[in-house]
Amino acid sequence: MLFKKSQLDGIADGTIDLTFRRWPAPRVGPGSRQRTAVGVIEIDTVDLVDDLTDDDARRAGWSSRDAVLAAFKGRAGDLYRMELHLAGPDPRAVLRERPATGEELAELRRRVERMGPWAMHYLHAIAARPGVRAPELAADFGLETRAFKARVRRLKELGLTESLTTGYRLSPRGESFVNHNGPGG
C-alpha cells in the first residue's frame, strides 16, 4: 500500500489510525506489516464496508466522508476499512546506524561475498557517488535500472545502504564495512 507523506506523518504521531482502499479483494490482512519512511505500519483489522462516517474519514486523515468517497469514485472493487498503527522503527534503519562488530562482521562479510563481486563494486560506487540517480549508476554497470535497484535492495536489507530522495548513500554501517572491515579487511 502506498501512503502520502501527510498520512505517514499522521500515522507516526497517532492522529491517523485508519485507512481506506478500494480493491477487488483484500490485499492485506490483520497482522500484515509494511515498512515505510516513518517505520513499520501494522494492519490491525481489515473490514469490507458499505459506507463510512465523517469520524472514520477524519481518523484516516480526510476532511469528510464525502472526500473519501470522491477519492475512490470510479475505481473498481469494494471499499475496505483498515485500522492500523505504527509498530516501531524500520529494522533496516536501526541496523544501518549500528556498526558491525566481531562475529556479526564476519557473517556480514560472508553474506556480501556470497552475493558476488557486484556487491562490493556497488558499495564502492555508491560511496564514491552518493545521491546519484539509480539509472546513472545502473548504466555504469551496464544494467537496466530495475535490476540494479533490486540488487541495491539486497544491500539495504543488510543495513549497508540507504535510499535518499535521489539516489543512495552508504549507511554508517556500510561506511564502516567498506572503509575498515570489507572483504579481506
| Local mean pLDDT, 10-residue blocks, the chain (185 residues) | 92 96 95 92 96 96 95 92 94 79 82 95 96 96 96 94 93 86 47
Q: Where in the chain is the domain with CATH 3.10.400.10?
A: 5-89
CATH fold of 92-180 reads: Arc Repressor Mutant, subunit A (1.10.10)
How much is the pLDDT for 180?
Answer: 67
CB 147 within 8 A of CB 154: no
How much is the pLDDT for 185?
Answer: 45
Which residues, 6 or more positions from 66, have their beta carbon under 8 angstroms from its beta carbon? none
Q: Which CATH superfamily is domain 5-89 in?
A: Sulfate adenylyltransferase (3.10.400.10)
Pairing label, strands 161-163, 78-88:
unpaired
How much is the pLDDT for 183?
Answer: 46
Which residues, 6 or more positions from 78, have their beta carbon under 8 angstroms from its beta carbon? 22, 23, 24, 48
How much is the pLDDT for 168?
Answer: 96
- What is the spatial distance between Cα 176 and Cα 153, in angstroms, rounded to a whole number? 19
CA distance to 14, 44, 50, 84, per residue, from 33 (Å): 17, 9, 25, 9
Q: Where in the chain is the domain with CATH 1.10.10.10?
A: 92-180
